[in-house]
Copies of this chain bind each other. A is one copy, B any other.
Amino acid sequence: MENLEHKHLAVLDEATRRGEQDTGNMRLCFEVLALAAAIDRSCAARLAPYRLSEGKFVLLSLLRDLPDGLAPYELAERAGVTRATVTGLLDGLERDGFLLRHGDKDDRRKISVRLTSMGKAMAEDLFVEHSQWIGSLFAGFEPREREVFSGFLLRAWRNVEMPLDAGQATGAGTSP
């Protein structure tokens, strides 16, 4: 019960109270969400002292080892966010001295984002540290267990991304 979020407990309690079937499935779903939320909170706590969010960290990672930098639209594509979001993140990273925007010599619409020395050092140190931390979250799993776990995640992911037709456990087969 410890690895559930308050809000999910409330929903789960209510489903249980009304004699809902399949609270086991709901609970499993909430456990996945609770784990992801816990990872996000821990990640934020680890990055906060460096004045970084996960989104900013991703941009720093993308810019490492690229002396010519990247354009904001390329950063947006690789990070999977909109160009508007990248503009905001770059504002903060530039303000804090991690990178600079440079005009493109051929195309005045374009800019090239490059890390500063401080940005490079930060990106390097944090990449190593962050990677190790991420890896540590799943320490203690045997290769076979990881394989089974990953298979479960993929199956669930497919249920989310590609819900089946009427043969599924939903009522009216509603879609987004």
Question: Which A residues contact B (CB, under 8 angstroms)?
Answer: 3, 5-7, 10-11, 14-15, 20-40, 42, 45-46, 48, 55, 58, 61-62, 64, 77-81, 127-129, 131-141, 143, 145-146, 148-150, 152-161, 163, 168-172, 174, 176
Contacts and interface: CB of A to CB of B under 8 A. Distances in A.
Contacts of A31: 150, 153-154, 157
B25 A137 contact: yes
B155 A24 contact: no
A39 B131 CA distance: 25
Given A35-B157, A153-B31, A61 B14 contact: yes
A160 B36 CA distance: 10
Contact of A11 (B34, B61, B137, B143): B61
A168 B139 contact: yes
Contacts of A136: 25, 159, 163, 168-170
- Main secondary structure, interface of A, reads helix
12 contacts: A3-B157, A10-B62, A11-B58, A11-B61, A24-B143, A25-B146, A29-B137, A32-B153, A129-B172, A132-B171, A136-B169, A137-B160
Contacts of A169: 132, 135-136, 139
Contacts of A25: 134-139, 141, 146
A137 to B, nearest CB: 5
B131 A28 contact: no
Given A3-B157, A38-B157, 17 more contacts: A3-B158, A3-B161, A10-B61, A10-B62, A14-B64, A14-B127, A25-B138, A28-B141, A31-B150, A32-B36, A32-B39, A35-B36, A35-B160, A42-B161, A48-B176, A140-B159, A148-B152
